[in-house]
Amino acid sequence: MDLASHRFMSYFEPLQAAHLCQIAVLESFAEETLVFEEGDPADFLYLVLAGEVEFSKRIENNKYQAIAVAGPDDFFGELGVLDGEPRSARAVAFAGSTLAKICREELIATLELAKGRSVLQMFNFIIKNLRDTTDQYVSQFVHKQKMVLVGEMVSTIIHDFKSPFTGIKLSSEMLKEMHPDQETQEWCELIQLQVQRMLGMAEEVLEFSRGNSVLNKKPVNLIQTLQQFEKLNKVYFYVAKVDLMMEVTEVIVEADENKILRVLQNLVGNAVEAFGGRGGRVEIIVTQSEEWAEISIYDNGPGIPQAIKEKLFEPFVTYGKRTGTGLGTAIAKSIIDAHKGEITYDSEKNKGTTFYIRLPKNLAVG
Ligand SMILES: Nc1ncnc2c1ncn2[C@@H]1O[C@H](COP(=O)(O)OP(=O)(O)OP(=O)(O)O)[C@@H](O)[C@H]1O
Ligand SMILES: [Mg+2]
């Protein structure tokens, strides 16, 4: 946009606006560039003509937390210019941005002569910005607090579950020794696997709440992963009247197998929960292209509720479940992201839902 049609100019009388246009200095950014740092003196007001500017605040360990973004027709930096205080956030312009800057003294001089209406309009904009930024900050803060709470809860759960888990494990080992027949051996192994799995799941929620997903990658044959998945869930599917159909080509990916199992578990678990005890059909199909392994997971359930479609993968988004925490799909996405893969879905009311996962095979790159 051109400077004369920027909203900031509309606040002023034509002569004053023309003067501001004349003294404004245009600056274009070919790459991501720091406009000002938190704590810098506030010497200019900036009008965004093209591109985007991101604002962030320094948090612990010299990391930055994004708090807002300004686009064309927005202006920023007015608070410091008006009250003379240093910048309260850092501003970074993305490549392709154009800003017009007006120096503090000129702006103050113009404002002193401006009509009350101009000042009022400017304040409306400033107040709206402050409200938006505060809302965003509060929701980020609440989100963080929830994560901390989840982390603390899971730590306690893991701690308290360790001794009963050890008890179950030891008992099943004893049963195995007492009954050497094939069937008992298999059931006992299943018990041990499931106990191990419960611990693994709790550890994963803990990792997620701390915001780190450490991958233990090795070449994984997805056929075996899916066979393992089927074995672990045989009883679960039987009880829930779920027909599982799998069509798997042999694909080797560089991945963390336990985490991929977790993704399958969370997505298929959701499908089973959506069947609501009536049973249903789940199809898992694995194919591959040159670079990707592709997994699709279909269910013929009721579909993802419209109300949460837009933000399904966000943490704590849950719908229609008494005990849902809303972490299942968020964890699945964080695991796929950590593998540099992609996860999307398609869903239609009363027809069903399909999740599509792509994982880079990565074998040549290592
Ligand atoms: N296959 C599906 N069919 C229908 N609805 C689904 C399906 N998958 C997810 N949903 C909806 O999406 C919501 C979010 O799922 P998500 O797994 O993230 O959380 P949750 O299942 O509610 O809780 P948690 O997984 O933490 O126990 C679910 O509450 C459910 O309403
Ligand atoms: Mg879930």
| Per-residue pLDDT tens over the stretch 94-153 | 999 999 999 999 999 988 888 888 888 888 888 888 888 888 888 888 888 888 888 888
Q: Partners of 46 in the beta sheet?
A: 76, 101
pLDDT at 365 over 60: no
Provide the 8-state DSSP code for 256. Answer: -
Distance 293 CA to ligand 1 centre (A): 24
358: tokens are 């792509």
Distance 309 CA to ligand 1 centre (A): 11
Ligand 1 within 6 A of CB of 280: no
Q: What is the pLDDT of residue 161?
A: 81
| Per-residue pLDDT tens over the stretch 327-350 | 899 999 999 999 999 999 999 999
Domain residue spans in the chain? 3-114, 141-210, 218-360
Ligand at shortest distance from the CA of 322: 1
Ligand at shortest distance from the CA of 330: 1
| Per-residue pLDDT tens over the stretch 226-241 | 999 999 899 889 989 9
The pLDDT of 341-365, averaged and rounded, is 90
Question: Rounded distance, CA 285 to CA 241, Å?
Answer: 20
DSSP string, 76-96: E-HHHHHH-PPPSSEEEEPTT
- Four-way CATH pick for 141-210: 1.20.1420, 1.10.287, 1.10.3470, 3.40.50: 1.10.287
Ligand 1 within 6 A of CB of 167: no
Ligand 1 within 6 A of CB of 271: yes
Distance 345 CA to ligand 1 centre (A): 13
Q: What is the pLDDT of residue 366?
A: 42
Q: What is the pLDDT of residue 65?
A: 82
Judging by DSSP bridges, how do beta strands 280-288 and 25-29 pair with one another?
unpaired
Contacts of 30 (CB under 8 A, 6+ apart): 95, 96
Provide the 8-state DSSP code for 236. Answer: H
pTM above 0.75, yes or no: no
Which CATH fold topology does 218-360 show? Answer: Heat Shock Protein 90 (3.30.565)
Q: Do 57 and 77 contact (CB within 8 A), yes or no?
A: no
The pLDDT of 19-42, averaged and rounded, is 94
Ligand at shortest distance from the CA of 303: 1
Reference 291, options 339, 355, 233, 231; nearest CA is 339
Mean pLDDT, the chain, rounded, equals 90
pLDDT at 261 over 90: yes
Read off the pLDDT band of 38 (50, 70, 90): very high
Q: How far is CA 355 from CA 64, 117, 235, 271, 277, in A?
A: 33, 53, 23, 10, 21
The pLDDT of 80-85, averaged and rounded, is 88
Ligand 1 within 6 A of CB of 319: yes
Q: Do 78 and 91 contact (CB within 8 A), yes or no?
A: no
Strand ranges for the chain from DSSP E: 25-29, 33-36, 44-50, 53-58, 64-70, 75-76, 90-93, 97-103, 218-221, 242-248, 252-255, 280-288, 292-299, 342-348, 352-360
| Per-residue pLDDT tens over the stretch 136-149 | 888 888 888 888 88
Which backbone phi and psi does 118 adopt, to 5 degrees?
-60, -45
Q: What is the pLDDT of residue 364?
A: 53
Same fold, 141-210 and 218-360: no
| Per-residue pLDDT tens over the stretch 243-255 | 999 999 999 999 9
131: tokens are 């409200």
The CATH class of the 3-114 domain is: mainly beta
Which class for 191: exposed (0-12), middle (13-18), buried (19 or more C-beta within 10 A)? middle
Q: What is the dihedral of CA 265, 282, 303, 286, to 10 degrees?
A: 70
Q: What is the pLDDT of residue 323?
A: 78
Handedness of CA 332, 261, 355, 320 (dihedral sign): negative
302: tokens are 């009721």
